[in-house]
Amino acid sequence: MSSPAAAAPAAGGAISSAPTAADGAASSSPGAKVKPMSHMAGSALKSKDTLESIKTAEGPDLYSRVALWMVDASEEDLKGFWDHYRQKENRENDINDLIFINWTRINPQGAIAAAKGTPDEHYAWWAWACHDPETALATAKASNPDRVNNVTWGIGEFHPDWLLEHFEELPENSRNNALQGLVKWDDRADPEKILNFLLENDRGLHPGLFKVLAMRDPWTALEWLQEKKPQGRLYSYADGRDPMGMLLDTVSKQDPEVFKRMIDQTPSGELKRQMETVLFNQQLESDPEAAVAALKDIKAPLVLTERYSKAAMHYLASDPDRAFELARQMLDECPTAMNLNMRVELGNGGSTTWGSGGSRELQNLMAALMAKDPERTVTLHLPAEGASYAESSTFYNLTGQWAENDIDGLVNWVNKQPESDVRDRAINAIVNKSIQEQDYESAMEWAQSSAKPNTAIHNVVANWASRDPEGVRAWMDSAELSEKLAKDLQQYIPKQNP
């Protein structure tokens, strides 16, 4: 680190995946990409495949070919195809499902007998539930209790209304499987009904079902969320968003006009601000200059700095000059941006505040600008002579970052500055970094180079004395200090034993 130069001359509950077949509670196809096709009765299409040709079929259209062939396939042909297919490596769950969905349509007992005692037995019981849930459940309970879980999964998957009506009648240890089947597909006829049922059974809010409700009826989804206020959940949110964030994102993209009406009809408060933020983010992507122009109407400093920060970040990679221009505008309009906190008025007439350093968006922007060009970032908004600490907070924060990341760069910049409050405030960052590295002699040298050194000297002596009292005594014995300053500094020096 260089020494200080003389002042320059003055200038300008995720729910788990399905259990394995080994424990007798397996899903037939927890990872299936498509819903099983039970049959295609009434279709005018006719398959040209035979049993022999379908055995050798391959390619991306295999599922559709097998499905069409099964429309007219006999039980004997289904058994023949299964005897062939089950010996293949890397079988597709979708095809396994398709075979047993169609086989149990014709003869469930035959399908169960063919798979009995094999790792594939669960497919047959699950598929039977697709066609005759009550008989499948009664048979499993009476003759094969280990397969009740497979049946209840199938009931949940294929017969949601029946499940909701008879849920309490299911064996307690099979209800979880029934619920997993229930939420396997999001596009239910009545997602709101199932969402309510899940909440009533302590399953929290299911994101897929809720998104379907939001797409079909955004107003109902909003009212439901405000009324239910779901808290704990067993379902994870893959994209990390909260339910309200998911709703707003879905509606704003699917129907912008409905979303704007939602904003207009929502009273002032956190929810309205959240909606307006979603709208701003989308406009920033589609028409960034229009988004920037709309900032003139924002009065709340914290919201203003958040959006200015997002706008500047939007431009930083493609147009750095525009990014720095927006950052300067932000700091001109809100000089204390990096010292803002959140204030919430309480119902009892009081209030509470928290947070410091500005919004996360602002912190991210300043870190990115500092990485791009620290000198340009620090000079975005230089504090005026005699400015208060609050008014200089952004400058203190940025010079502190500069000292942490590139102390030599900050030293070179300070050594080019004329004697001023700006120079003294930047010196504080160098002093603090030197103290952090326990380089007290350099810290003191910098402190004494300040036009108003006393505060910085106090800071260095207090820290130095706590680490090396003998060293600071030696310095004080040799230093030329005023009588008052020397006396004031004695408060930090531990007394020596006589």
Helices (H), ranges, 349-420: 360-372, 374-378, 393-405, 407-414
pLDDT at 353: 38
pLDDT at 393: 84
Torsion of CA 204, 209, 210, 214, to 10 degrees: -170
- % of the chain beyond a pLDDT of 90: 71
Q: Is the pLDDT of residue 439 over 90?
A: yes
Q: Is the pLDDT of residue 354 over 70?
A: no
C-alpha distances in angstroms, 303 versus 267, 296, 309, 333, 449?
17, 12, 10, 12, 40
First-to-final CA distance of the chain: 39
Q: Is the pLDDT of residue 410 over 80?
A: yes
What does the pLDDT look like over 146-155, one tens digit per residue?
999 999 999 9
pLDDT at 24: 39
What does the pLDDT look like over 250-301, one tens digit per residue?
999 999 999 999 999 999 989 999 999 999 999 999 999 999 999 999 988 9
Ranges of each domain in the chain: 16-159, 186-286, 300-405, 407-498
pLDDT at 5: 65
Query: Higher pLDDT residue, 225 or 26?
Result: 225
Tell me what the pLDDT averaged over the chain comes to.
86
pLDDT at 482: 92
Q: Both tokens of residue 220?
A: 């109902």
For residues 314 and 284, is the Cβ–Cβ distance under 8 A? Answer: yes
For residues 154 and 28, is the Cβ–Cβ distance under 8 A? Answer: yes
pLDDT at 340: 62
- pLDDT interval class at 93 (50, 70, 90): very high
pLDDT at 73: 94
Q: Is the pLDDT of residue 368 over 50?
A: yes
- 135-167: string of b/e by CB count within 10 Å (b at 16+)? ebbebbeeebeebbbbbbbbbbbbbbeebbeeb
**Surface-to-core class of residue 42, CB atoms within 10 Å of its CB (0-12 exposed, 13-18 middle, 19+ buried):** exposed
Alpha-carbon gap, residue 177 to 23, rounded angstroms: 12
Nearest to 314 by CA among 338, 343, 281: 281
Average pLDDT over residues 208-237: 83
Q: Is the pLDDT of residue 226 over 50?
A: yes
pLDDT at 237: 45
- % of the chain beyond a pLDDT of 70: 85
Q: Is the pLDDT of residue 38 over 90?
A: no
